[in-house]
A and B are shown apart, each in its own frame.
Chain A
Amino acid sequence: GQNIDQPTEMTATEGAIVQINCTYQTSGFNGLFWYQQHAGEAPTFLSYNVLDGLEEKGRFSSFLSRSKGYSYLLLKELQMKDSASYLCAVRDRSGGSYIPTFGRGTSLIVHP
């Protein structure tokens, strides 16, 4: 199985930059997903990394280092609507199922 670790809660100020880390241990890494989940709503897909490096999508970027078992989600120019839970999910090809396993999520609170 996988061991996925991310901080439980983070706070940041509107307009600032925040980095949410995710570390994992897996025997057959096959991709890492980030999802955003607002309270009472469905998780929605944000980004996907399978190769090392940075993927940028507007205000959001995601980074992966496979050798370190490490990813981060970077949120720039924070807005109040970015207050949400951010879920890291890792795909593992061992066993053949390719089903992502989710971390426990990081609750981000953006204050004025």
Chain B
Amino acid sequence: DVKVTQSSRYLVKRTGEKVFLECVQDMDHENMFWYRQDPGLGLRLIYFSYDVKMKEKGDIPEGYSVSREKKERFSLILESASTNQTSMYLCASSPGTGVFQPQHFGDGTRLSIL
């Protein structure tokens, strides 16, 4: 069974801090994704990666960056955290760009910026 693990379930940080959210998947998937989920707005794509060291901007990349140095690990970085980045962050992976490739999600990190 695919396992996507996010390093923290809950995280509290202060405005201006640099924040790292880590995600690891154990099924050798090519694609990895970072979303944020807010009430009434649904899941919005921040960044995705289809290979090691490759990254593509999603719909809302401003204020974020990512790193993928190894295939199994995809990190989301908040360079200087702001209160409007308080949200639930979900990591996902999928095995490729074939016709039928559902995403597998981690349990999420609920991030609060004070």
Contact = CB atoms under 8 A, between A and B. Distances in A.
A87 interface: yes
Contacts of A50: 99-100
Interface in B88-108: 90, 97, 99-100, 102-108
B6 to A, nearest CB: 9
B36 to A, nearest CB: 11
Interface in B9-50: 33, 35, 40-45, 48
A65 B48 CA distance: 29
Interface residues of A, number: 23
B79 interface: no
B56 interface: yes
A87 B104 CA distance: 14
Contact of A100 (B90, B99, B103): B103
A48 B41 contact: no
14 contacts: A33-B102, A40-B108, A43-B103, A45-B103, A45-B104, A48-B100, A50-B100, A99-B33, A99-B58, A102-B35, A102-B42, A103-B42, A104-B40, A105-B43
